[in-house]
Chain A
Amino acid sequence: MNKRQKKTLIRIIIAALLLVVIAVAEPYIEGTGPAYQAVPWAKTVLFVLYLIPYLVIGYDILKKAVKGIIHGQVMDENFLMAVATIGAMALGDYRESVAVMLFYQIGELFQSVAVGKSRRNIAALMDIRPDSANLVTTEDGKETVTSVDPGDVAPGSLIEVVPGEKIPIDGVVERGSSSIDTSALTGESVPRDIAAGDEVISGSINQSGVIYVRTTKAFGESTVSRILELVENASSQKSRSENFISKFARYYTPIVCISALVVAFIPPIVNVITGKDAMLAAFVYRALTFLVISCPCALVISIPLSFFAGIGGASRAGVLVKGSNYLEVLSKADTVILDKTGTLTRGVFEVVSIHKDDIGEDELLKYAAYAEQHSTHPISRSIVNAYGRDIDTSLITDVHEISGRGVEATVSGRKILAGNDKLMDDNGIEYTECPDGGTIVHIAIDGKYAGHIHIADVIKDSSAEAIRELRKMGVSRTIMLTGDSQEVAEKVAQNLAIDDYRAQLLPQDKVDAVESVLNDNSRGRGKVAFVGDGINDAPVLTRADVGIAMGALGSDAAIEAADVVLMDDDPIGIVKAIGIGRKCMRIVYENIWFAIGVKVICLILSALGIANMWVAIFADVGVMVIAVLNAIRTLHISRAGRLVTGHLQNQ
């Protein structure tokens, strides 16, 4: 509790004690017991006595109500409370008046403490900003370590990270090994083992050993800075429900005030006209109850709180959401479009099989690797990696890379052609089609066909599970987009049980593909989510109803364009993100219906004269407390998110 909350608590205790004492003394003062004599001016004495706890507990509300009127914020909850309690005082219901104010303050204090607590929870979990970096400098072969501001460390510097410290800047481990905890970044609770040569991202916590990290980025470009920037700028986009509530509050309060006036004065006037007793006091009392019930606090406080907690809970689970409107859109996603490379597949090619004609498999791979040695194309790299042995570059001469075809090179005096069918056609070499389909590298030695190597992009372990989970959640359509060939796309789509795919797309075709899906979908209420790894798909990320970039912390364009950023590149994150959106919206709607429902029922009861001030207090404060507690549930998403992944790992 902070200072202000403590002060309110003390005021609540004092006012409550005074209220009890005066309430006990009331019969003595009024002389209602048979043995007692009424005190002279009993009513006035009681009024003055009750005024003390009333002012102790309510002075700030009254002050705010007056200030609100001066500043043109007439119809807020302070105003409602002030009018209701002053009205009750005027009617002589002193005890009720003090009680309404007292319970209102208890409710406010409760929500303030609960909110403060959950905020600190999130803030602590997002506290990934490193305070300093241990810069290692070498002088005369002697290393010295100095603690400096992370912002002052240039890329390429060596830093020391001792166990228990956060890695301050992205880099590559140069010496030492350890395990690091990345849970603050990715929500993944299993520590990752690292050794020399491994990349580490800032914000992870070094757990066991001292490591020396060669920084690859400046602090400002490191993961930590990026995440903090994202988190601190989130929530500027308001969801439709939030806008609904603020509009609602704008019309709601005046309507309630007018209704209260109607309840207070129309029936007495009718009574007077029809010659009955006016019963003005009874109807004014009903109108005041009406005002207390109608206070919109439960809604105006709990709805933004749900979204705030939802975004906070999501960032704990490694899902950064840029605004509450995206939580809403995520919850409505019924079509998910996924990029293939880097999203569903690892984006790394691997040699799947080798089909030789009349030389050994090893030899075929060796010639291919030698020929491809100088190329940086991912396919070439995968062949070189598959070969895995040292390559004697002195044996390679006359290398020509033929764009869109392959490579031509002389290896140990033999002329090697390695490339696609077009390269073979160009050189008039007959080749055999690969029965597997997919990406094929044909190899010819000295003008004679030697065989081919089948290469494929490897599907991520959790892709199939993610697609299955999406379907289970009610995502009715999954579509895969890829620049790859028809055969490759078909195979991946079949493997993962994806509903539909579009192959051989250039980056600009992807935007068209997403647009056509958006048009198909425009009639329904479902939204279209696009998931990509942020490479080449920034325009598509912007175009979809909600753009999700995964593992995109390295790419500026993707962070800029995406609405939701997944911190790691596990496709299960898509399931988590949609699940979080759903849970958040479910809680928001629960609160809207619950609060409005209870209030409408109580309003009708009070207009009919059935509900008294005590029911009104429940309808106001009780509903607010329940709604706030419900809203805070949104925070505990991360655990659910982890459960999903844990459950998958067990299978």
Chain B
Amino acid sequence: MAKSYGIEVDCANCANKMEEAAKATAGVKDCTVNFMTLKMNVTFEDGADELGVMKEVRRNCKKVEDDCEVYI
């Protein structure tokens, strides 16, 4: 199951950091962050609680880049 979320981030490197942080989150199978379109495409593990996982993704992203936002 894959879903796309809007994000807010200022620099291309921060987007890369967010991508890594999201990938490392439990329940996320794969993730790509597109700096150009400000979108985060998340592929979830089977049976993952999407909302819960995304909240965790947002928390992890804020750890690496304070100035970012993930719109769930």
Contacts and interface: CB of A to CB of B under 8 A. Distances in A.
Interface of A: 4, 63-64, 67-68, 71, 73, 111-112, 115-116, 119, 122-123, 126, 231-236, 238, 242, 246, 300-301, 303-305, 307-308, 311-312
Contacts of B16: 238, 242, 246, 304
Given A233-B34, A311-B36, A305 B12 contact: yes
Interface of B: 4, 10-13, 15-16, 19, 32, 34-39, 41, 63-64, 66-67
B41 A233 contact: yes
B64 to A, nearest CB: 6
Contact of B32 (A116, A126, A236, A307): A236
Given A115-B12, A301-B13, A67 B32 contact: no
Contact of B39 (A68, A232, A301, A305): A232
Contacts of A63: 66
B64 A301 contact: no
A231 B36 contact: yes
A242 B35 CA distance: 15
A63 B62 CA distance: 13
A232 B41 contact: yes
A123 B37 contact: yes
Contact of A119 (B4, B19, B36): B36
B70 to A, nearest CB: 16
9 contacts: A63-B66, A112-B10, A123-B36, A233-B34, A234-B36, A301-B11, A304-B13, A305-B11, A308-B12
Contacts of B36: 119, 122-123, 126, 231, 234-235, 308, 311-312
A83 B41 CA distance: 37
A304 B15 contact: yes
A303 B39 CA distance: 20
A235 B39 contact: no
Given A235-B32, A311-B36, A115 B11 contact: yes
Nearest to B13: A300
Given A115-B10, A304-B15, A305-B12, A235 B63 contact: no
B35 A112 contact: no
Contacts of B38: 119
A231 B4 CA distance: 13
Given A64-B66, A73-B63, A73-B64, A232 B12 contact: no
A304 B32 contact: no
Contacts of A115: 10-12
Nearest to A65: B66
B13 A232 contact: no
A232 B37 contact: yes
A111 B11 contact: yes
Contacts of A123: 36-37
B35 to A, nearest CB: 5
A142 to B, nearest CB: 41
A68 B32 CA distance: 23
Given A64-B66, A73-B63, A304-B16, A235 B34 contact: yes
B63 A71 contact: yes
- The SS class assigned to the A binding surface is helix
Nearest to A115: B11
A301 B12 contact: yes
A215 B19 CA distance: 38
A511 to B, nearest CB: 27
A93 to B, nearest CB: 28
A304 B35 contact: yes
A576 to B, nearest CB: 19
Nearest to B38: A119
B7 to A, nearest CB: 12
Contacts of A111: 11
A301 B13 CA distance: 6
A116 B34 CA distance: 14
A67 B59 CA distance: 13
Contacts of B32: 233, 235-236
A472 to B, nearest CB: 31
Contacts of A64: 66-67
A495 B16 CA distance: 47
A350 B60 CA distance: 61
A439 B65 CA distance: 63
A67 B65 CA distance: 10
Contacts of B10: 112, 115-116
A236 B33 CA distance: 7
Q: Which 3 pairs from chain A and chain B are nearest by CB?
A: A304-B12, A236-B32, A71-B63
A112 B66 contact: no
Contacts of B12: 115, 301, 304-305, 307-308
B39 A71 contact: no
B13 to A, nearest CB: 4
B2 to A, nearest CB: 9
A233 B38 CA distance: 11
Contacts of A4: 67
A301 B10 CA distance: 10
Contacts of B4: 232
A307 B37 CA distance: 14
Nearest to A113: B10
Contacts of A307: 12
A8 to B, nearest CB: 11
B63 to A, nearest CB: 4
A298 to B, nearest CB: 11
A64 B65 CA distance: 9
Nearest to B2: A233
A111 B11 CA distance: 8
B42 to A, nearest CB: 12
A108 to B, nearest CB: 8
Contact of B35 (A71, A119, A238, A300): A119
A246 to B, nearest CB: 7
Nearest to B35: A308
A73 B20 CA distance: 13
Contacts of B34: 231-235
A304 B34 CA distance: 11
